[in-house]
């Protein structure tokens, strides 16, 4: 597993062949959010947005595990206005939300990932790649993170 991170803008995590990829991706995203001053968050809006990001990362990586043959990589690209999350996998099939469940199926687990993505992300979609696809989503940056205080942010992790 290869990690590259910059407190400035873009963090990249290679997941191809890694184990426990959902937890690794979530921890990686948490470190990136801290480097970008999204965590620890001073406002409730920023805390909520950071928690949404961690849930979204978990969902798209888990979907790549379940439906895409496993994720190849996770990319986090942040600027003052938004955070873009990209997960690549080896399946060319685009993600498809499940149809609405009947009342008797409503309590069953699974099948809610894209509904969560659709509700929490500002926008999302997928792009075909020569060796599969990239599922991407964007989240608006919280106001508190739009003008972060500059200074040391610590080690972004192994590279």
**Domain 3-99+109-145 annotated CATH 3.30.565.10:** yes
Measured in degrees and rounded to the nearest 5, phi and psi for residue 10 equal -120, 135
Tell me whether residue 143 is exposed, middle or buried, using C-beta atoms within 10 angstroms of its C-beta: 0 to 12, 13 to 18, 19 or more.
exposed
CB 148 within 8 Å of CB 37: yes
pLDDT, residue 149, reads 42
CA-CA distances (angstroms) from residue 31 to 123, 141, 144, 145, 157? 23, 16, 17, 15, 8
At residue 159 the predicted structure's pLDDT band, cuts being 50, 70 and 90, is very low
* pLDDT tens per residue, range 8-20: 789 999 999 899 9
**Angle 110-24-152 (CA atoms, 0-180°, nearest 5)?**
130
pLDDT band at 154 (very low <50, low <70, confident <90, very high): very low
CB-based contact 53:120 (threshold 8 Å): no
pLDDT digits (tens, 9 = 90+) for 43-57: 888 899 999 999 999
pLDDT band at 42 (very low <50, low <70, confident <90, very high): confident
The mean-pLDDT minimum among 31-35, 39-43, 105-109 falls in 105-109
- 98-130, pLDDT tens digit by residue? 665 445 545 554 567 888 999 999 999 999 999
On whether the CB atoms of residues 86 and 75 are closer than 8 A, the answer is yes
pTM (2 decimals)?
0.82
Over residues 39-45, the mean pLDDT reads 85
End-to-end, the C-alpha distance of the chain in Å comes to 9
Distance of CA 65 to the CA centre of its chain: 14
CA 124 to chain CA centroid, nearest Å: 11
CB atoms within 10 A of CB 68: 23
The token pair at 158 is 């192994």
């Amino acid at each position: 597993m290869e990690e590259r991170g910059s407190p400035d803008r873009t963090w990249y995590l290679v997941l191809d062949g890694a184990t426990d990829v959902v937890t690794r991706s979530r921890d990686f995203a948490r470190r990136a959010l801290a480097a970008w001053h999204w965590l620890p968050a001073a406002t409730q809006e920023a805390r909520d947005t950071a928690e949404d990001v961690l849930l979204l990362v978990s969902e798209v990586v888990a979907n790549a595990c379940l439906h895409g043959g496993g994720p190849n990589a996770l990319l986090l690209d942040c600027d003052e206005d938004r955070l873009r999350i990209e997960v690549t996998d080896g399946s060319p099939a685009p993600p498809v939300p499940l149809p609405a469940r009947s009342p008797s199926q409503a309590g069953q687990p699974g099948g809610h990932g894209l509904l969560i993505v659709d509700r929490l992300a500002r926008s999302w979609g997928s792009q075909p790649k020569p060796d599969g696809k990239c599922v991407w989503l964007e989240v608006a940056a919280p106001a508190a993170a739009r003008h972060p205080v500059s200074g040391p942010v610590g080690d972004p992790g192994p590279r």
